[in-house]
A = this chain, B = another copy of it.
């Protein structure tokens, strides 16, 4: 049987640096666990724009469609701030999500024991936190038409369209309910049904899918503004949260920051099963391209490495190897390995991106 295939898109800023450590981890699994991947690499974001004048070439898009999983670093940076909207680095990422139809974005917000004190929240509020945010990723105001800026009389008007179909809501809620069954069996759905009709439909469809197919899962609904409050007030009340593309963007970042260690958080974006049964999939850290520390060896590669662990689990059914890798990360943290972003008030000497990679390989 052919080796499973991976496309690596390091992207911009610290993307290439953290991805270099992931490649070493991939190689380790090849050498030690007989898990050999066919790895190819291409450009996305500003890096692609610089070379090709587009944030994602058709060739790279085609490759992403063919491989078993895509690993992405990060996109964007101030250098590209003044680019036209249509060629911004982010468009490369959004094209991947849309054309691969990656409708289910899993964003765990997990507080690592060794790092609970890095949170701006009190220890007891976040210690042991383990939330899974399931964000719809291919629709909503990110992609709805009409959109754009036009003139009306002598003033400009900016328009975007929030649009959700019943089937789009149904498929992402199924994915949330499925996940909940493997966790604490609780789903909270968030929208603004008190203000937006798209939110009314969202709430209705989630409830219908629940009642028809997942009556065993505990379901609640919350307005998204209250959701933001509850995340800050008492985040441990949540297990799985399911929400739309835009609310998911904001609420998942809010939840991520609760943990105090953004440099630790991976994500998976999953679509429909391919011919081989594996879902279309893209894995990426939650953090951004961090232009302020790019090229200094300061970046924390853990979020990107844990994204590969998610790939092992969700794309390759290698739950044991995912556990192994996640365990190695826990261990190096427990042993006190800290990149610059993980320096607490008590200080200490941070290790470099590569040294963190070394430590994780050693722990493996």
CB nearest neighbor in B for A150: B197
A20 interface residue per 8 A CB criterion: no
CB nearest neighbor in B for A166: B155
A226-B253, A232-B232, A257-B229 known; A158+B195 contact, CB < 8 A = no
Give CA–CA (A181, B201) in the complex, Å: 43
A324 to chain B minimum Cβ distance, whole angstroms, is 31
A224 interface residue per 8 A CB criterion: yes
Of B90, B121, B162, which one neighbours A195 at CB under 8 angstroms? B90
Give CA–CA (A231, B250) in the complex, Å: 12
A85-B200, A197-B147, A254-B229 known; A141+B121 contact, CB < 8 A = no
Residues of chain B within 8 A of A226, CB atoms compared? 253, 288
The count of residues in chain A whose C-beta lies closer than 8 Å to any C-beta of chain B is 62
A362 interface residue per 8 A CB criterion: no
A122 interface residue per 8 A CB criterion: yes
Of B155, B164, B229, which one neighbours A262 at CB under 8 angstroms? B229
The secondary structure that dominates the A interface is: helix
Q: Is the CB of A156 within 8 A of B201?
A: yes
Give CA–CA (A163, B142) in the complex, Å: 14
A234 interface residue per 8 A CB criterion: yes
Give CA–CA (A232, B161) in the complex, Å: 29
A142-B195, A228-B257 known; A201+B158 contact, CB < 8 A = yes
CB nearest neighbor in B for A221: B81
Q: Is the CB of A161 within 8 A of B158?
A: no
A249 interface residue per 8 A CB criterion: yes
A88 interface residue per 8 A CB criterion: yes
Q: Is the CB of B250 within 8 A of A225?
A: yes
A258 interface residue per 8 A CB criterion: yes
Residues of chain B within 8 A of A231, CB atoms compared? 254
A228-B253, A233-B120 known; A199+B165 contact, CB < 8 A = no
Could you name 24 residue pairs across A and B whose Cβ atoms are closer than 8 Å? A90-B195, A142-B195, A149-B197, A149-B198, A152-B165, A155-B166, A157-B166, A158-B162, A158-B163, A158-B164, A158-B200, A158-B201, A159-B161, A159-B163, A159-B198, A160-B197, A195-B249, A225-B253, A228-B250, A229-B253, A229-B256, A232-B257, A233-B257, A250-B251
4 closest residue pairs by CB, A with B: A158-B201, A158-B198, A155-B166, A229-B257
Q: What 8 new A-B contacts, CB under 8 Å, besides A147-B196, A254-B254? A: A90-B194, A120-B233, A122-B122, A149-B198, A155-B165, A162-B162, A226-B253, A229-B253
